[in-house]
Amino acid sequence: MIVVGELINASRKKIGEALSAQDADYIKEVAAAQHNAGAAFIDVNAGIFVEEEPEYIKWLVENVQEVVDGPCSIDSPSPVAIEAALSAHKGTPMINSISLEKDRYDALLPIVAGTDFKVVALCMSDEGMPETVEDRLTIADKLVNALVQNNVDIDNIYVDPLVQPISTNKDFGTGFLDSIEQIVKRFKGVHTMCGLSNISFGLPNRKFLNQLFGVMAISKGLDGLIINPLDTRMMANIVAAEALAGKDDYCMNYLKAFREGLFEN
């Protein structure tokens, strides 16, 4: 499981304020905490600042990597912002995300073509949000093929089938889960990735639903999550779910997490 730490997103009030005030200490603190909690990538998003986005996302990358010996997930649809972030980034970043929306696709494909970047391929097109498994597979098929033809290794592609709220349609949960299963089967070697919080939109007790939906998705083959790694219950669920799903030899990670106290919260 690859965990992407989602907290450094300017749409979160304290991160937005830290960006405006150029409060590097706060950014570093949130970055280090996520890294220590097990995030393999630290997501950086400055999208609410239209004009300053390139400058701000680059500043985020610099400050994150001052305290974290690891890569960022560069979270923007803007090629200018991504290039600015890349100019400062050390190591191999994740690009979050390309989609089949024409503008975004045309802008991002040249950036990732022929690189060893990790790429999130979001199952979204100009026709809007996909609803059925077939919708998602059609988009995934086009994106995966385009990326592979542009010399992105399939092992670096993370398909995100896009979680949608069960409060809107009770079959949106199973639609997503079946998509994960089909994508993993159809595109050998590809990875999958998602955020979880949309599943519980409009319902009470959201964290609990998000955590359990993550467990279900892992049992279908999901191997990437964009989450808050400081949510220890979520992290505990991930470790347990991977053991239950046959992805933890001799339950070694599970036993290690137990010894470290992860299940005590």
235 lies in the site for a second copy, by CB under 8 A = no
205 lies in the site for a second copy, by CB under 8 A = yes
98 lies in the site for a second copy, by CB under 8 A = no
Tokens of 248: 């933890």
Q: Which stretch binds a second copy (CB under 8 A): 27-35, 41-49, 115-123, 170-178?
A: 170-178
263 lies in the site for a second copy, by CB under 8 A = yes
Q: Which stretch binds a second copy (CB under 8 A): 27-35, 140-148, 182-190, 250-258?
A: 250-258
Annotate 69-138 with DSSP letters as a single string: SS-EEEE-S-HHHHHHHHHH--S--EEEEEEESHHHHHHHHHHHTTS--EEEEEEEETTBS--SHHHHHH
Nearest CA among 181, 174, 169 for reference residue 137: 181
Give the relative orientation of helices 13-20 and 53-67 as an angle to the nearest 10 degrees: 100
Least separation, in Å, of the C-beta of 252 and a second copy? 10
For CA atoms 70, 58, 76, 143, give the dihedral sign.
Answer: negative
Identify residue 102 by its one-letter amino acid code: K
Least separation, in Å, of the C-beta of 135 and a second copy? 17
For a second copy, the closer of residues 33 and 215 by Cβ is 215
Binding region for a second copy (CB under 8 A):
166-167, 170-174, 177, 199, 203-205, 208-209, 212-213, 215-216, 219-220, 236-237, 240-241, 243-251, 254-255, 258, 263
